Amino acid sequence: METIELVRLPVQGGSETQIVLRHRAPPGPSTLPPVLLVHGATFGSALFDLPRLGYSLMAALAERRFVYALDARGYGLSLGGGVMDAPPEQHPPFATADEVCRDIAAAVSFILDRHGADALDLVGFSWGTITASRFASANADKVARLALYAPLYKEVRPLWRGSVPSEAYRRIRLSDVISRWDADLPSADAAVYREPDIAKLLFETVAALDPQSGSCAPAAFRCPNGALADLAQVAQGRPLFEPKLLTMPVLLIRGEDDVTATDADARRLLALLPSRDKRYCVVKKGSHFLCVERGRGVLYGELNAFLGRQETRSVA
């Protein structure tokens, strides 16, 4: 029977003392490498595990393997204290790619030790494709396969350049979630892409993890700004990882209508990957948040197919 577990890990060299991993186990033993999911700039691991049947990427992947999802420092269950409890203007943007790579390293070490494995499969989403790729490029021996959903590499975006935040974190309201999601949709009819109440469910799931979310009106959850500082660099055509070091099999996958992770940027990255085992998949009727849209089943299926192609005997 599937189990859900939360694992708290200490992280050295950071102002936050611990990070949290969500964990789902398969119904029985698995010979596949464990999987670690790395979130994007806003929602933390909750995006991969919504409390509604059919809306958990973690559950879909856990049918055959052990699955973990990271809440990087400042996100979700790793909200912690320190910087995130101080007034936001007292600190610079928190939880940049360099900091989060230390969190990924701690999570990977724990997972490999727990399962007696030499390498795991790594899945990144949006800004998480940057942090996952940055880690994988420096630790190729620990990453069996790399899946980049909504990949971001070096697309030049003049509008993003001037959006560098000066504060440690920001607050996200339900209206912010809806407007951000809608901005990525080519159709005025959001119902074509998502169920009417799914944005509200996503917001409430994430906000419930922040004990301060109800202290302001309307309710809002805290979210680190380090990712926005990273993305401002990317918007100047300054990539934060080196594709030629990603020697493992790589899957790039995005929604056809995603205007954040563009087709041009994905193809630019694909051309630079050295592995012969690389693939670019485009899912029709999907935006940046495909993993919780109506077309999510195609994404889940493609990830399962890519991550399940080869077995290993080193996983307990």
**In this predicted model, what pLDDT tens digit does every residue of 140-182 receive, in sequence order?**
999 999 999 999 999 987 766 666 789 999 999 999 999 999 9
**Euclidean distance between the first and final Cα of the chain, in Å?**
17
What pLDDT is stored for residue 311 in this prediction? 43
CA distance 57 to 301: 10
**pLDDT classification of 316: cutoffs 50, 70, 90:** very low
Burial zone of 208 (CB within 10 Å; 0-12 exposed, 13-18 middle, 19+ buried): middle
Which helix (H) or strand (E) segment is 169 a member of? Answer: strand 169-173
Superfamily of domain 4-307: Alpha/Beta hydrolase fold, catalytic domain (3.40.50.1820)
pLDDT in tens, 57-71: 999 999 999 999 999
pTM of the model: 0.94
**C-alpha separations of 255 from 166, 248, 266, 289 in Å:** 31, 23, 11, 8
CB 259 within 8 A of CB 288: yes
Q: Mean pLDDT, the chain, as a whole number?
A: 92
Q: What is the largest CA-CA distance in the chain?
A: 53
Which helix (H) or strand (E) segment is 232 a member of? Answer: helix 226-234
Which helix (H) or strand (E) segment is 102 a member of? Answer: helix 97-115
pLDDT in tens, 265-276: 999 999 999 999
Per-residue tokens: 18? 């611990």
